[in-house]
Amino acid sequence: MIVSSFFLLFFLGIILRLFYWQVVQADKLEGLAEKQRMTTLPITAQRGQIFSSDGSPLVLNQRSFGVYLEPKNITDLPKVMDILSKDLSIPVSTISARLDGSTALWLPLAHRVDENAVNAVKNENLKGIEFLDEPKRYYPESSMAAHLLGFVGKNSAGGDQGYFGLEGYYDQQLKGRDGSLSQETDALGNPILSGNIEKIPAENGRDLILYLDKTIQYIVEKELLSGIQQFGAKGGSVIVMDPQSGGILAMASYPSYDPGNYLNFPAEYYKNPAVASSYEPGSTFKTLVMSSAINDGVITPETKYHEDGPVGIGGYTINTWNQKYHGEISMAQILEYSSNVGMVFIGGKMNKNSFQNYIKNLGFGALTGVDLQEEASPELRPENKWYDIDYATASFGQGIAVTPLQMVRAVSAIANGGRLMEPHVVKSIHLPDGETININPNVEKVVFNRKTTDYVTEMMVEAVDNGETKMIKPAGFRIAGKTGTAQIPISGHYDTSKTIASFVGFAPVDDPRFVMLVTLTEPTTSPWGSETAAPIFFNISKEIFPYLKISPSD
């Protein structure tokens, strides 16, 4: 009896235990079994690449690795440190400091190491060193168009993130989306083909095709750097834009940096001055005020002005830049002589509301909408804070702050018959499935009528042919342009020894293929735009004309 009871209880215990493991713990054990036989691998999405207008690559992806240490598995520490130091160019002291006192199982040592260096380490067959795929960007054109492109760094979660320029603006589109592959594997880790396979394919990032012309960009960078050195300037920028589409054909600024080694450059170099820094445009702004006044009908090209001497406005005296006064002059001659007092006359003819409206309609005081991350815009003076002296100085481009991109876009409206175009760097976006999204040119508004732009264009041609730049302009070509020399405001007053020298223009006049703005910051050989920025403009133009197959017209 006792023995039977014992066996009964024994088997009851077994049954209860089986019930516990097979019913109560069923879900948990099923999960553990699945975890054991199922392997999940991430499928990394490839970041989208960037190409110039002719399809040449500007930014590609390159295989590189993160190097990690497993301190517990390192058997010969001095040998490991020596080899890593030699092959990865990391000081032994740095490696030693990383390992010193660390109890971590897994220590990052270096990121984005080239494949060649990693292969050299792998060939040593050292224990305790692991490698993970960490693709990095490759720039076949080195630091060309660095400010336009931006760079890829890390975000706070350790993932890749684009900063500045196109990498920053289009980061989400370039990034794509990682996928995953879950499959049953055998004891050796090989996939079981007849087992469960769940695949979420990676969605690679989208490629960008730019308006940027590689050849024009090369010419611009070469001539700008040469000009900065020749004229002893602190820096400078050039923008070349297609006035018909708003496409940016070239954009360069110095000082610049190498996006492939951005950490080796000061952070203040990362921001693109052409879209993020402001300056007072000086006499280049006169073309816009002239256009506004003619468009409003308050002056005509036949209007005359008596340039007899300085003018007084609100307790201030305004002179010409060279203290020369020419008597009765035409509106075209006001631009040709770059007469400040003449511009005060023109600005004074305009209704004040109309003057302010033209400034706003030309896009000043607001973002242009260009597809670059760091674009900024200086604010315009509030409408109720404009006094007579402010209208007067604004008429010749002082007392108003603009970005170089705002300036070149506004002058483009003269070149293309009056349309203010939305500037763009990217022309089209290619999706991984082969589809293409074209970014169509966008006319924001029509600011001037055709007659106005025709008149002002001819005035600008005369300013180039008869003004301070007549001796240096390329022979045989009709170029519309205007010099600018603006003093730099410092602590509430203007420093007469420091200027922003600039030249803005477009060509060929009959069918403008490009509008270009050159700005130099604090040139030391001469403060004048006609002697510094203008030569750079013409040197670039001389190389662009044959490249774009533009023949002389004279």
Partner 1 sequence: MPTNGKLNILLVTVIFILASVQVFLLNRYSTMGDSWNNIDAETTKTARENDILNQKIASASAISSLSARAEKLGLVNGSKIISLTKNLPLAYSLDNSL
Q: Point out which residues bind partner 1 (CB under 8 A).
A: 56-57, 60-63, 138, 140-142, 144, 185-186, 188, 190-195, 214-215, 218, 508, 510-511, 543, 545-546, 550-554
- The verdict on whether omega for the bond into residue 259 sits within 30 degrees of 0, i.e. cis, is no
Q: Which is nearer to partner 1, 200 or 437 (CB)?
A: 200
Residue with tokens 């018909």: 244
| In the complex, minimum distance from the CB of residue 60 to partner 1, in angstroms, rounded to a whole number | 6
Kindly state the smallest distance separating residue 550's Cβ from partner 1, in Å: 7
Measure the CA dihedral 166/171/172/175, to 10°: 120
Instruction: Give the closest residue to 308 by CA, choosing from 284, 292, 289, 327.
Output: 327
Residue whose CB is less far from partner 1, 191 or 441: 191
* Cβ proximity to partner 1, 192 vs 376, nearer residue: 192
Is the Cβ of residue 189 or residue 266 nearer to partner 1 in the bound state? 189
Please confirm whether the linkage preceding 508 is cis (ω < 30° from 0).
yes
The 8-class DSSP code of residue 472 comes to T
In Å, what is the CA distance from 359 to each residue of 291, 295, 352, 450?
11, 13, 11, 19
CB-wise, 186 or 495, nearer to partner 1?
Answer: 186
Q: Tell me the chain's radius of gyration from C-alpha atoms.
A: 33
Residues linked to residue 421 through DSSP beta bridges, in sequence order = 443
Q: Compute the least distance from the CB of residue 465 to partner 1, in Å.
A: 17
CB of 278 to partner 1, least distance (A): 31
Whole-number minimum distance, CB 475 to partner 1, in Å? 11
Tell me the C-alpha distance between 135 and 206, whole Å: 16
Of the candidates 360, 342, 350, the one whose C-alpha atom is nearest the C-alpha of residue 293 is 350
Contacts of 542 (CB under 8 A, 6+ apart): 474
Bridge-based pairing of strands 235-241 and 514-521 is antiparallel
Helices (H), 432-517: 450-466
CA separation for the pair 236, 294 (Å, rounded): 32
Judged by CB, which is closer to partner 1: 302, or 510? 510
What residues form DSSP beta bridges with 105?
A: none
Least Å from the CB of residue 461 to partner 1: 15
Rounded CA separation 402/429 (Å): 30
- Give whichever of 27 and 511 is closer to partner 1, judged by the CB atom: 511
| Shortest distance, position 551 Cβ to partner 1, whole Å | 4
Closest-CA residue to 280 (of 124, 391, 388, 399): 399
The rounded Cα 139 to chain-centroid distance in angstroms is 15
Query: C-beta of 1: minimal distance to partner 1 in Å?
Result: 49
Query: Would you say 161 or 185 has its CB closer to partner 1?
Result: 185
Interatomic CA distance for residues 193 and 196, integer angstroms? 8
| Rounded Cα–Cα distance for residues 491 and 462 (Å) | 37
Task: Report the alpha-carbon distance of residue 185 to residue 191 in Å, rounded.
Answer: 4
Smallest distance from partner 1 to CB 217, Å: 8
| Shortest reach from residue 37's CB to partner 1, in Å | 12
Distance (Å, whole) CA 369 – CA 401: 18
Considering the complex, what minimum distance in angstroms separates the CB of residue 61 from partner 1?
Answer: 7
Residue closer to partner 1 (CB basis): 147 or 513: 513
